[in-house]
Amino acid sequence: MKQARMDTMNSEPVGDLRGSFLEAMSRAANSVYIVTTDGVAGRGGVTVTAFSSVSADVSEPRLLICMHHESSTAQLIRANGVFCVNILSAAHEELSERFAGRRGKGEDRFAEGNWTRASSGLLRLEDALASYDCRLSEQSLVGTHHVLFGAVQDVVLGPDATPLLHTRRGYGQVAEG
């Protein structure tokens, strides 16, 4: 027999495992990133929160990003073989919305923001907290998402500002103090 558990904060039944999983994930605070790519397959960019360091103790440090398998940017990264991860500051909320597809499509998304070329030629956000210029080193399809591993080719440090966070299905920032 399937049983519903109670959410102790709201006293509401929590349904299936997927729903509980999504609700639990929404309670985590994640930094927000714009991932860009450019090359023979075309230019693209998307907002993500699924990012992690994998290893710093190799000749080319590794990181990973996750994107839905239907994401046009994921397809472009897989074809171009390169991508740039830009850490957003609290001042980038509107740009994050744009690259999340809420205020722009395709290459039109790049009409806003301070874009410059990284050493590889990829577009990077000039005022990002940091940018990682990556070569796609490995990829795996896990469920509905591509896990894309990047071999870091270059890192550019930007301003030491407050990062943009995403939590409880909205934006936030670290409290000063």
pLDDT tens column, 114-127: 999 988 889 999 99
Distances (CA, A) of 100 to 9, 19, 79, 109, 136: 30, 22, 21, 9, 22
Q: Which domains does the chain have, with CATH numbers?
A: 30-168 (2.30.110.10)
pTM of the model: 0.87
Sequence-distant (≥ 6) Cβ neighbours of residue 1 within 8 angstroms: none
Pairing of the two strands 123-125 and 62-68 = unpaired
The identity of residue 129, as a single letter, is L
Q: What is the pLDDT of residues 98-109, one digit of tens each?
A: 999 877 777 889
Nearest-angstrom CA–CA distance, 166 and 93: 10
Nearest-angstrom CA–CA distance, 26 and 28: 5
Nearest-angstrom CA–CA distance, 36 and 123: 7
pLDDT of residue 15: 60
